[in-house]
Amino acid sequence: MGILNSLFKKEDNKEPYEGPPENRALINYIADWYKTPNDENYKKTVLELMEGRPVLLLPSANKVDIPDQWQVAKEDTTLNLTSIFTVDGVKVLGAFTDEAALLNWTGKSTVYTAMHSNDVLLLCEKNGISRLVINSNAYNMFILQRSRDEVQTHHIPAGTTVRIGTAERPLPKRVLEKIITGFKANTNVNEGYQYLTSFADQYSLVVGVVLAADSQDARAAVSFILQDALRGEDLEQPVDAFFLQDAEWLRTVRQIPGSKFYTK
């Protein structure tokens, strides 16, 4: 856990920035955000990563000849990155704005690949990486995480009568296969169920999930899997996620015929 802890550790002592000139605007935006952590400063930093030309250094195990000056990776370059981690199912990528920040994290000289920040974001999108940590364990650390704006949380008041049963119109096979693929890639998901639920005259199809370890990150990881599987699908009924961490709830759902669709 030492590496993961350092990935999210923040230090307050500031140091002068001596990295690539392309990154100076990004560093200034991050500094402004730390000074005044509001939505506007965060948005400026994110837009610089998306639309500017900052260069991020990605620790790698690529066997390459190290030139006197760093170069930006070309398109279709094969990468063997060493700063990808999984935290309760959420894939995290560590990147750095300069060699000093990279050395501060690794504690030793390390081979790295330089990529423009917008290409790094595309790499994250294509490879299911939901969180980008820039300059981990440094004075100018910045975390960019995939949005969960599409997710709505519903609270069921205590004492509410909830009816559950077999789904007459289960998820299409193509959608279920995408969810199963996502669950297989997430070692923290133990079981998956689908069933119909109703309360307060509202009906929905539910994907019930049993987690090995329950946490906000673990639930976010499942939300991302479901978002990806349902994106672009035109379903006849709403789909909810329910985390079956309560033993009584889990026993009840397990009794629903045909409800289980995934077991690790």
Domain-by-domain residue ranges, the chain? 2-145, 163-263
CB 195: neighbour CB atoms within 10 A?
Answer: 21
Q: What is the pLDDT of residue 146?
A: 82
The predicted model gives 181-207 an average pLDDT of: 90
Per DSSP bridges, beta strands 202-211 and 142-145 are: unpaired
Evaluate whether 222 touches 89 at the Cβ level (below 8 Å).
yes
> Cα(66)–Cα(111) distance, rounded to whole angstroms?
8
Evaluate whether 129 touches 92 at the Cβ level (below 8 Å).
yes
> Cα(159)–Cα(92) distance, rounded to whole angstroms?
39
Q: Is the pLDDT of residue 158 over 80?
A: no
Q: Is the pLDDT of residue 139 over 90?
A: no
Region 163-263: CATH code = 3.30.70
Q: Of 174, 187, 154, 189, which is closest to residue 228 (Cα–Cα)?
A: 174
Q: What is the pLDDT of residue 222?
A: 93
Encoded tokens for 49: 């990563």
More confident residue, 256 or 146: 256
Q: Average pLDDT, whole number, for the chain?
A: 83
Rounded to two decimals, the pTM is 0.69
The predicted model gives 12-37 an average pLDDT of: 78
Q: What is the pLDDT of residue 127?
A: 85
Q: Which of 4-13, 112-121, 247-256 has the lowest mean pLDDT?
A: 4-13
